Amino acid sequence: MHFKERIIKGRKYKYAVQSIRLPGGKVKTLEKIFKGESKKELEKIFEEKKKREYVKHALKNFKTDYIFTKEQFEKIEEIKLNYSKILKELPKASFRDLLDRFTANFTYESNALEGNSLTLKDVAIIMFENASIKGKDLREIYETRNSREVLALIIKNKFKVTQEDTIKMHKMLVKDIDIQTGYKKFPNIIVGKKIKTTPPEKVEEEIGKLVKWYQENKNKVHPIKLAALFHGKFEKIHPFEDGNGRVGRFLINIILINNKYPPLIIRKSQRLAYITALEKFDDKYYDALERFILKRFKETYKKFFEVYVRYI
C-alpha cells in the first residue's frame, strides 16, 4: 500500500493505493481517498475491496448455478483471500508447523478411508520422527511415508494436472509396496459397486481425454466445481491397480492449490457420504459430489486453518 496525491478542480486529495493480481495475471489498482484512517483500518477496507474484485472476477468468468451461487462465490473468495493472508503473515516456523499438521491430518484421513489402521499419532511418529510402529503392517507405514512425500510436493505447487504427473504421483505413493506402477494391466474389481471401470486397454486414452477436458474447462468452470467433476471422472476410470482414491484426492488438492485456494481434507467419518456421492456421480447425478466437495472445502478451512490461526 502506498499514497499518492491528485488535484481535482483545484483541490488536492490524498489517496491510499494498493495493487492486486487477479486470477489470470491481470493487475488491478484499488484506491481510496485517505481520511486519516489508521494502517489497520485501511488494511481492513482494502481487504473488503479485494474480496469484491475476486467475486466480480469469479462472476465474470464462471457461471453460477443452484450450487455455486453468487452467495457461495462470495464465501469462497473470502476464504481464498483469508488463506492468502494466513500464508503471508504467519512466521516461518508457524507456517511449517501448519503445513506439517495439515500433511499429517490429510494423510491419516485419506489412508484411513482406504482401510489403513494407523492412528493420527502413529502417522505423526512415522512422518516426523522417521520411526516405525511396532506391530503395524509395513505396507501401512510405507503408504504413510510415501503420501507425505507426495503431499509435500503438492503443497509446493510442483505437480500439474497431466498424465505424466499423475503416473509420477502414483509411483511415489506405492514405492516399496508390492503394487504394480503405471496404468493397470488387469480390470479392477470394486467390491460392493456395480459400476464398470475403464478396461486397461483404454485407460491411457480416457485419462488423456480427461486431462484435455480439464485444460478446456479450467478457465470456464470454477476450480472447486472443476475439482469435483474431475475427481468423479477420474474415479470412474480407476486407472491404477491400487491407490486410485488417494491419487484422486491428491488431484483435487492440486487443482485447488494451483488456483491459490486452500486444500481440503475428506475425513474417514465422511466415508459413507463420500462413497454415496461418487456412486451418484457414476449414475450421472453430479450435484451430490459437487455439494460434498464444496462442503469439505469450507469445512476444512473453518475447522483446520481458521482454528490453527486462532490458537496461535
pLDDT for the residue numbered 194 = 64
pLDDT for the residue numbered 23 = 84
pLDDT for the residue numbered 261 = 96
**pLDDT over 70 (residue 200):** yes
pTM listed for this prediction: 0.92
Residue with cell 512466521: 91
At 238-295, the pLDDT tens digits run 999 999 999 999 999 999 999 999 999 999 999 999 999 999 999 999 999 999 999 9
At 86-113, the pLDDT tens digits run 998 899 999 899 999 999 999 999 999 9
3-state secondary structure 243-284: CHHHHHHHHHHHHHHHCCCCCCCCCHHHHHHHHHHHHHHHCC
User: Domain locations in the chain?
Assistant: 98-311
The residue type of 203 is V
The mean pLDDT of 65-75, rounded to a whole number, is 96
Average pLDDT of the chain? Answer: 93
- pLDDT grade for 193, boundaries at 50, 70 and 90: low
pLDDT for the residue numbered 136 = 85
- pLDDT grade for 141, boundaries at 50, 70 and 90: very high
pLDDT for the residue numbered 189 = 75
pLDDT for the residue numbered 249 = 98
At 153-192, the pLDDT tens digits run 999 999 999 999 999 999 999 999 989 999 999 998 776 5
121 or 311: which carries more pLDDT confidence? 121
pLDDT for the residue numbered 41 = 92
pLDDT for the residue numbered 270 = 97
Report the CATH number of the 98-311 domain: 1.10.3290.10
CB–CB of 17/2 below 8 Å?
Answer: yes
- CA–CA distance, 300 with 222 (Å, rounded to integer): 18
At 216-225, the pLDDT tens digits run 999 999 999 9
CB–CB of 32/46 below 8 Å?
Answer: yes
